[in-house]
Amino acid sequence: MYGLLGPNGAGKTTTLRMLATLLKPDAGTASVAGLDVVTKAEQVRARIGVVNGGMGLYDRLTGREILHYFGRMYDMDEASIDARIERLDGLLQLGDTLDRKAGGFSTGMKQKIVVARAVIHDPPVIFFDEATSGLDVVARRNVLDFVRAYPSEGRAVVYSTHVMGEVEELVQRCSIIYQGRKIAEGTVAELTAQTEARNLEEAFFRLVSRTDTGDVSREVPA
């Protein structure tokens, strides 16, 4: 579990869009699951899932129909889709979202199906970009519990947010991004210790302050 932490406009979403092959980088290279995001874009897309706070659903379809539709796009057969839906129902508590039309969903219900849709094909890499934005406390907890459960030996999660508490709760390592560049990287404990901060939020503001004043000599090494 790897976190991208930074204020709105820092470059988190742009970074994830390049990794997800939605934007072509102007320079440099990047790979996902060992595949170049420019030259192997189609293969990258088959191996990733993407969740953000503003993704839409087809209002006239039920949650189950949406998941079947996307499962077929990944060349899954009906039995495999049904088995995967049952597994995701246990993890995300999909409940009646499966058999109700999406046009009547609450924000939290929509986000559950958005998450399930992103991982219907069990991708080895998943990107969460402000995935809990606008959710109530119950829906937010369901998403966070799923995010925590998803990584394994063969899976990776990149979690982007400006909510410090979510990073402290979830990630093993994180980068702090500010004004389009990485200013620090490490575990939460490393970042707080090296900035002599009481918590991640305080460490973040100290790092940003040093960047604004040009005191790069005290940056936490990446």
What is the model's pTM?
A: 0.87
Same domain, 50 and 159: yes
- 39 Cβ contact partners less than 8 Å away, ≥ 6 residues apart: none
Q: How many domains in the chain?
A: 2
Same domain, 17 and 112: yes
Same domain, 188 and 103: no
Residue 181, beta-bridge partner list:
178
Which of these three, 131, 151, 171, is where a domain ends? 171
Same domain, 97 and 195: no
Same domain, 94 and 197: no
Burial of 138 (C-beta count, 10 Å sphere; 0-12/13-18/19+): exposed
Name the token pair of 215.
């005191």
CB 10 within 8 A of CB 164: no
Same domain, 38 and 85: yes
Give, for all 222 residues of the chain, the pLDDT tens digit: 999 998 888 999 999 999 999 999 999 999 999 999 999 999 999 999 999 876 789 999 999 999 999 999 999 999 999 999 999 998 888 999 999 999 999 888 998 999 999 999 999 999 999 888 888 888 888 889 988 888 877 899 999 988 888 989 999 899 999 999 999 999 999 999 989 999 999 999 999 888 877 665 444 444
Same domain, 96 and 201: no
CA 192 to chain CA mean position, Å: 23
CATH number at residue 93: 3.40.50.300
Same domain, 210 and 161: no
Which structural domain, as residue segments, surrounds residue 16?
A: 2-171
| DSSP H or E stretch at residue 203 | helix 200-213
Q: Compute the distance between CA of residue 159 and CA of residue 105 in angstroms, rounded to an integer.
A: 25
Same domain, 165 and 180: no
Same domain, 206 and 114: no
Same domain, 119 and 160: yes
Same domain, 188 and 153: no
Fill in the amino acid letter for 94.
L
Q: Compute the distance between CA of residue 160 and CA of residue 173 in angstroms, rounded to an integer.
A: 12
